[in-house]
Amino acid sequence: FKIYYTQYQLPIMAWKLENGEKTIANLLCRKATGKYKGRSYTAWYAPDLPFSYGPWKFGDLPGVIMEIVDSRNEVKFEAVDIFNYGSYTDIDLSMGPIVSNAEFYNQERLHALDLKKYYLANVLNTGGHKHKIYYYNNEKLIDVDKLNPELRNKFLHPYLLVNNPIELEK
């Protein structure tokens, strides 16, 4: 695989600081809600870590985002643990070129097409799946192989397997 670096401006989200506290990884977190690209999110941030960082494109809160989940429970980022190595290492940007977002997304698209070809050739057409695929029915995970043929074919369609974008709106 190739390494690329991009530079982009993180979106500014209009967070609403809410009442509510929760402990995540032994840190007291506070609640915030906001909307981004068609999804409503609840974030839990740790004021004791006074850095405005979070997963993916999220940030801009008065503490590190320890957990964020959308209202439909389709997107969730959750910190599992926080620990201190005692030192840090600078990121080595010489490992790959700095490219524009357009060039990066073009490379990402080409890579995704290769993955789709691999998936179609090596997973769906093998007669037996190399990977297990599960369907969640709001109660439990069900092995797709145990569904009736009509449902199984529906859930194994490549469009349904790979297309639940985080950003629902442009």
What's the pLDDT at 161?
53
- Would strands 98-99 and 5-6 be described as parallel, antiparallel, or unpaired? parallel
Q: What is the pLDDT of residues 68-103, one digit of tens each?
A: 999 998 899 999 888 877 877 777 767 777 777 788
Alpha-carbon separation of residue 28 from 8, 24, 71, 135 (angstroms): 31, 7, 22, 34
Q: What is the number of alpha carbons within 13 Å of residue 60 lying toward its C-beta?
A: 15
SS3 108: helix
d(CA 162, CA 60): 29
pLDDT at 124 over 60: no
What's the pLDDT at 70?
95
pTM for this predicted structure: 0.62
What's the pLDDT at 135?
66
Mean residue pLDDT across the chain: 79
Q: What is the pLDDT of residues 35-59, one digit of tens each?
A: 999 999 999 999 999 899 999 999 9
Kindly state the helix (H) or strand (E) to which residue 105 belongs, with its residue range.
Answer: helix 101-122
What's the pLDDT at 128?
44
pLDDT at 134 over 70: no
- Split at pLDDT 50, 70, 90, the class of 129 is very low
Q: What is the pLDDT of residues 150-168, one digit of tens each?
A: 777 776 665 555 567 788 8
